[in-house]
Structure 1
Amino acid sequence: MVVQLVSLGRGLRQGDPLSPMLSIIAEEMLCRGLSDLRNKGFLKGIIGPGKVVTPLHFLYVDAVLIFMNVELKGIKNLKRFLDFYQYYSGQQINPEKNKIFLGLIPLARKQRSKEVLNIPECHFLTRYLGVDLFEVQVKKDLILPLMDKFMAHLTKWKAKLLTLAERVELVKTVMSSILGHNFLVYLWPASPIAKMERWIRNFIWSGEANKSKAVVVNWEKVCKPKREGGLGICRLKEVNLALLAKLCWYIKTKKFTLAAFLRGRFAASDGSLKHYVASTSIFPGIRKVWEFVLDNSRWAVGDASLDFGMIFAWGIESWKMGASCCGVHQFAKHLPVHSYFSAPLD
């Protein structure tokens, strides 16, 4: 019988089921520590629009964004806290992935802040978590790198070895996901979208993005759902507008700190959209779909998941304010009210 000794060590293997839970515990310590620094005055946050509270930090998986005032005392306190966090948690900050954006401050303070944090200054245009960050409105020349990436995926596939159904599935799963994060934030110009749809159309029918082929099926019919005789391919423009509507709905209805900050940035005190917001790249997309979301918003009395809730929503719109319906409105105050978003399918 051969017995092999098992050596003990620290750490977790990749894929260990305990890894996500331990990561959440460590991130919770990081969040509470950052919030405690601001609450006790060791660092100052950024002044937001109006009286809106500016978020101090955001976390996304293993990435963190910190928004703070560039004050030398606060910078040193942040650096000291991050050093303690690395020591006690065992996590290490990757210096190659760190970026610092500095506003209109004196050059000497900029230099001193970079020396204390040991992080290089970054300028727009840059990329974060797969999304290109623009300082101005999105134009065709700014998204050429993403279009090149889109084209590279189409050209590297051996499309001639794939069937038509396999090419359609690649377009629906892979190609749509490449643009998802950017479509959620920015309103894209019409010409790049038309060009990429032409590449998709050529790839499906001929197997090559730059080689067109005469077909008898109209592209509008191809993009219809399968139950209507199409292939279920989504039009890129419609995907862009739908994701922007999702962002707009988030801004209008959610109570999170980020949603409140964006409302203070883009919405007036009465809830309407501001006519103009300077130095922003996402406002054109919000302005494009704001009225669309507003026109298709409804209030449902009761549980919005039930049919009678939608019927009541239609009935409330038909009621006229007067003595005859005052009792109904008083009764409605005691019912749970939910908002939902509805849009025409066509």
Structure 2
Amino acid sequence: MYLDSILQQMDFGGKLWNWIKWCLSSNRVSILVNEPPTNEFPIKRGVRQRDPLSPFLFIIAIEGHSVSLKEACNCHIFQGISLPHDGPYLSHLMYVDDVTFVGECLRINLLKSKVFGIRVDSLDISRLASILHCERVEFPLTYLGLRIGENMKLAKHWKSIVDKFNSKLSMWKAPKKIIEILEGIRRKFLWGGVDNKRKIHWVSWDLVTKPKHKGCLGVGSLSSLNIALLAKWWWHLKVESSSL
């Protein structure tokens, strides 16, 4: 099995893989036929739609693909591109569930392509879009749910993210003011508050976010998470000079 092979090559323990196999093999689903559902039956492979395990399995699967593509470049089977000024060598880019191949002699799907420019005259962008027969896009734009081309230091440009967080209780990194808003949503959620109605907070939020080994709930602080992510990026930039 592909996932089994990848996990073994990445030196994951057998206990973890047994857990994953159990999750994959124990799923049961039913199908709606003219409204009433059929009897449940096992699907034996894959996960249900929106299963929280799905993105982790995707990362594991795509890691094998990434290693294979790098090996193909080393064997000159696939030719990527080298960025100028001692930039990194690119063969592919991955973000969330998007995979972009970067290389020579690749055919571009213009129906899925869009043209936008940075410090380029709008007439030049329109002319190029007309030549390529693809859509012209202007900043700011939304890519995979994130706004690009806006000043994200301004709180008003984070409204859509705050709204998503409020509805799904997701985690995002953000400026201090935004983090305070998101932490407020988490506190209200924990103590059962609804809309503008507040309920009593029986425990200090500092105790809620502290680790379990200190006798607390270990929910974690968004501010600490934000600092940790920034530190991780800084470390990659420091020790991996060829990294994007």
TM-score (norm 1): 0.43
Which residue of the partner structure matches residue 133 of structure 1?
148
Which residue of the partner structure matches residue 82 of structure 1?
107
Tell me the alpha carbon deviations over residues 173-230 of structure 1, each in whole angstroms, 9 at most, x when there is no partner: xx23xx2xxx2xxxx2222211211111111112535432123311111111111111
Aligned length: 181
1:95 corresponds to 2:111: yes
Which residue of the partner structure matches residue 222 of structure 1?
208
* Inter-partner Cα distance in structure 1 for 2:89 and 2:133: 23
What pairs up with 1:37-116 in 2 under 5 angstroms? 51-53=85-87, 58-60=92-94, 62-64=98-100, 81-82=106-107, 93=109, 95-96=111-112, 98-107=113-122, 109-116=124-131
1:204 corresponds to 2:185: no
* Inter-partner Cα distance in structure 1 for 2:110 and 2:195: 38
Secondary structure in 2 aligned to 1:206?
A: coil
Which residue of the partner structure matches residue 33 of structure 2?
none
Does the 8 Å contact 1:222/1:231 carry over to 2? Answer: yes
Does the 8 Å contact 2:141/2:148 carry over to 1? Answer: yes
Shift of 1:127: 2.9
Instruction: Note closer, same or farther for the CA distance 1:234–1:249 as it changes in structure 2 (3 Å cut).
Output: same
Instruction: Note closer, same or farther for the CA distance 1:138–1:205 as it changes in structure 2 (3 Å cut).
Output: same
Pairing partner for 1:238 from 218, 224, 239: 224
Structure 2 spans left out of the alignment, 5+ residues: 1-44, 47-60
Secondary structure in 2 aligned to 1:113?
A: helix
* Inter-partner Cα distance in structure 2 for 1:240 and 1:63: 26
* Inter-partner Cα distance in structure 2 for 1:214 and 1:21: 46
Structure 1 spans left out of the alignment, 5+ residues: 1-13, 39-44, 68-77, 84-92, 155-174, 259-346
Does the 8 Å contact 1:200/1:209 carry over to 2? Answer: no
What pairs up with 1:306-317 in 2 under 5 angstroms? none
Structure with more contact order per residue of length (Cα contacts < 8 Å, sep ≥ 6): 1
Secondary structure in 2 aligned to 1:231?
A: coil
Which residue of the partner structure matches residue 18 of structure 2?
none
